[in-house]
Amino acid sequence: MYQYLIVSILGYGACLGKCRNKCVNIIEYVCVPFLFPTENKEEETVYAEVKGSAVTQRNPATAVDERPALHSQPFRGVAVCLGVLCVLLVSAIIGLYVYFSTALSEHNTKLVRELEQLTDVRAFLLAANQDLTNLNSNLSTANHILRCDYSKVSTANQRLAAEKEALSRERDRLNWNLKYIYQFENFPVNQYCSPKDDVGERKCNPCQSGWMLFQSSCYQILYHSSPWKTWEQSRENCKTNHSDLLVIGSQEEQEFIHNHTQYYFDIHHGYWIGLTDIANVNQWLWVNGSHQTDGFWKRQTGGGNCALTVPNNEPLANWNAESCSMQNRWICESRALLWSD
């Protein structure tokens, strides 16, 4: 059987907590096992107390009573430290609360000022937007008025341009009238104008008496003149009336002449027109100097050098080429005069 021997060992002095100026003797107890032979005996416990040479033996009961006091001193220091830490922590929390409260208050004040500024800016922008809206409305109205005025001015300008063009044509015609009248030593007023009426006024016509008006020209078609004349004689006769042989410049004019000429004698006779190939080089020229390009020729011509129109059933194919010495009727043409009302 093992028996235990409790040995009390006096240790060194230790300084506990903040009381480092006091040292206490700590008695350590060591339980040492011993082996004893036992026979039919109750177990006995032998305590051996070993002490240091400088320590006196104390009463075990007193030592036991002092241990709680010795062990409570470190916890007291820890409690003090924890209390101080708690005070510091609370102080820090209070300081942080005050700091953040102040910062938050300043931030809120700044936000309020910024909000007020933004509100003022918004009000200013709304007012400016309203002003711009009103200005845009006024400009739109002014633009509409200007467009209307521009339309009116454009219409007036077009009207003035048309009037200018008409006046220019009238001026040209009047100049032509003046030029035409200057050809006469004594202008034949009675051939253009009717006798004076009751109030002493005369009404004048664009063509001489007996002439036909078509577009801007006057035509004299010799139906029953006798004797007939050659091409040269016919042209001289036209010139005595300050005109010349007919120059056909369009299909409408060709149809007009066809509708006002009559068939006579035979299929070879017709009315001299102002178209010749005197040089016999197959280049037909009008009496006004222009070249003939597209004509209204018959399918078969006589092979002469002077042209005449022969009435037939084909209004767009009745020109014929005959000898210039052949005698025929003829057609004179002059420009119509313009008389103001």
- Asked whether the bond before 74 is cis by omega within 30 degrees of 0, the reply is no
User: What does the pLDDT look like over 18-44, one tens digit per residue?
Assistant: 444 444 444 444 444 444 444 444 444
Residue-level pLDDT at 68: 52
Residue-level pLDDT at 40: 45
Report which of 331, 308, 330, 328 is spatially closest to residue 320, judged by C-alpha positions: 308
- Of 59 and 30, the structure prediction assigns the larger pLDDT to 59
Q: Would you say residue 53 has pLDDT above 80?
A: no
Q: Which residue has the tokens 């030592």?
A: 63
Q: Which strand (E) or helix (H) includes residue 112?
A: helix 60-182
Q: Which DSSP category does 34 fall into?
A: E
Given the candidates 3.40.50.1980, 3.10.100.10, 1.20.1260.10, 2.40.30.10, the CATH classification of the domain at 212-335 is 3.10.100.10
Dihedral, CA of residue 295, residue 296, residue 298 and residue 299, to nearest 10 = 70
Residue-level pLDDT at 225: 62
Domain ranges of the chain: 1-58, 63-182, 212-335
Phi-psi region of 14 (alpha: psi -120 to 50; beta: other; left: phi over 0): beta
- As a whole number, mean pLDDT of residues 111-139 equals 95
- As a whole number, mean pLDDT of residues 84-94 equals 93
The mean-pLDDT minimum among 62-71, 250-259, 321-330 falls in 62-71
Phi, psi (deg, nearest 5) at residue 120:
-65, -40
Residues of the chain with pLDDT > 70, as a percent, come to 77
Q: Are 220 and 332 in contact (CB under 8 A)?
A: yes
Please give the full DSSP string across 206-264, using - where no structure is assigned. Answer: SS-TT-EEETTEEEEE-SS-SS-B-HHHHHHHHHHTT-EE----SHHHHHHHHHT----
User: What does the pLDDT look like over 148-207, one tens digit per residue?
Assistant: 999 999 999 999 999 999 999 888 878 877 877 777 777 778 888 878 777 777 788 888
User: What does the pLDDT look like over 269-286, one tens digit per residue?
Assistant: 999 999 999 877 778 999
Rounded Cα distance between 176 and 232, Å, is: 26
Residue 248 binned pLDDT confidence (cut-offs 50, 70, 90): very high
Residue-level pLDDT at 306: 95
Angle at 125 between CA 123 and CA 130, to 5 degrees: 95
Could you tell me the two tokens for 207? Answer: 């063509």
Q: Average pLDDT, whole number, for the chain?
A: 79
